[in-house]
Amino acid sequence: MNHFRCIAVSTADAIRFRHAKTDDFGYEVQRLDADRTYPCRHCLREASGRSGMLLFSYQTPKPKSVYGHPMAIFMCACDCERFEKKDVIPDIVRNRIVSFRAFYGDGMMIYDANELVDGGDHDAAVRRIFSRDDVAYINAHTAKAGCMLCHIERA
């Protein structure tokens, strides 16, 4: 059995961005309040824009390679509980067509281990990818926009 943990944006970064006027790349942190839902990268849940959401550029800690780059992410503008569950695919991943991108420990992508998932097979896909010994971690991205949803590590 391959155990895993989906890693959300750190609480320290969440607090920092909630108080920032600009992100780490000098872009204005957008404040949204539209009556729709957005995928929060801290609680990893679909969150209501009516409660306030942030939109900003974020660079994930991994990979540190040509495959790492800043991307737009949403986050609750108010405090939310950081996702900390083991062996659970969070809402924002389960509810989307997702590209699971597999990486070696040095940050290089393992093309033939990547999977595109639509329709509820997300947990099985993560376990299949981690059944390979050469996979160090996985990044889950939206298949349409390509935005990072969460980082996934072995537990």
Of 33, 59, 76, the residue at which a domain comes to its end is 76
Q: Which amino acid is at 137?
A: Y
Tell me whether residue 103 is in a domain.
yes
Same-domain status, 70 and 90 = no
Tell me whether residue 1 is in a domain.
no
Model pLDDT for residues 29-77, shown as the tens digit of each residue: 999 999 999 999 999 999 999 999 999 999 998 999 999 999 999 999 9
Model pLDDT for residues 87-120, shown as the tens digit of each residue: 999 999 999 999 999 999 999 999 999 999 997 8
Tell me whether residue 4 is in a domain.
no
Token output for 58: 């974020």
Of 20, 53, 76, the residue at which a domain comes to its end is 76
CA-nearest of 114, 121, 40, 122 to 89 is 122
Question: Are the CB atoms for 42 and 82 separated by under 8 Å?
Answer: yes
Token output for 143: 């298949």
Q: How many CB atoms lie within 10 A of CB 78?
A: 11
Q: Are strands 98-103 and 4-7 parallel, antiparallel or unpaired?
A: unpaired
Tell me whether residue 18 is in a domain.
yes
DSSP, collapsed to helix, strand or coil, labels residue 52 as coil
Provide the 8-state DSSP code for 146: -
- pTM of the full structure: 0.94
Model pLDDT for residues 4-20, shown as the tens digit of each residue: 999 999 999 999 999 99
Residue range of the domain that includes 134: 85-154
Q: Tell me how far apart the alpha carbons of residues 51 and 78 are, in angstroms, rounded to a whole number.
A: 7
Peptide bond just before 63 cis, omega within 30 deg: yes
The residues near 70 (Cβ < 8 Å, ≥ 6 apart) are: 24, 25, 57, 58, 59
Asked if the model's pLDDT at residue 1 lies above 70, the reply is no
Same-domain status, 96 and 130 = yes
CA-nearest of 111, 36, 133 to 67 is 111
Same-domain status, 64 and 97 = no
Same-domain status, 63 and 123 = no
Same-domain status, 114 and 149 = yes
